């Protein structure tokens, strides 16, 4: 339980320090699972007629690596081989 609280606090700190946009999960539709990993599931979804990839982390398994990934995605404004990062949502 303490590890989960630490992970959530770490994620909240990154969200605030990087000024990450938050999107309501209910705004996404046509949601389909396209892949699963050890601590996340990747979904395809539509938002305002645009297709997005949603990466859903399992908070009980996510760790500082998740927070580091968020920081790195925020730092990359554009790269041809990396999907653009727009923000986060909570299911």
**Residue stretches of the annotated binding site:** 55
Q: Three-class SS of residue 81? A: coil
Q: Which of 28, 46, 32, 35 is nearest to 91 (CA)?
A: 28
8 A C-beta contact, residue 53 and residue 40: no
For the annotated binding site for ATP, the residues are 55
> Cβ contacts of residue 14 below 8 Å, gap of 6+?
20, 67, 70, 71, 74
């Amino acid at each position: 339980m303490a590890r989960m609280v630490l992970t959530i606090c770490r994620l909240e700190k990154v969200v605030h320090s990087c000024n990450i946009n938050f999107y309501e999960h209910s705004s996404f539709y046509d949601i389909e699972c396209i892949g699963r990993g050890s601590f996340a599931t990747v979904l395809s979804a539509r938002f305002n007629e645009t297709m997005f990839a949603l990466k859903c982390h399992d908070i009980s398994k996510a760790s500082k690596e998740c927070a580091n990934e968020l920081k790195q995605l925020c730092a990359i404004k554009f790269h041809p081989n990396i999907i653009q990062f727009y923000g986060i949502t909570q299911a």
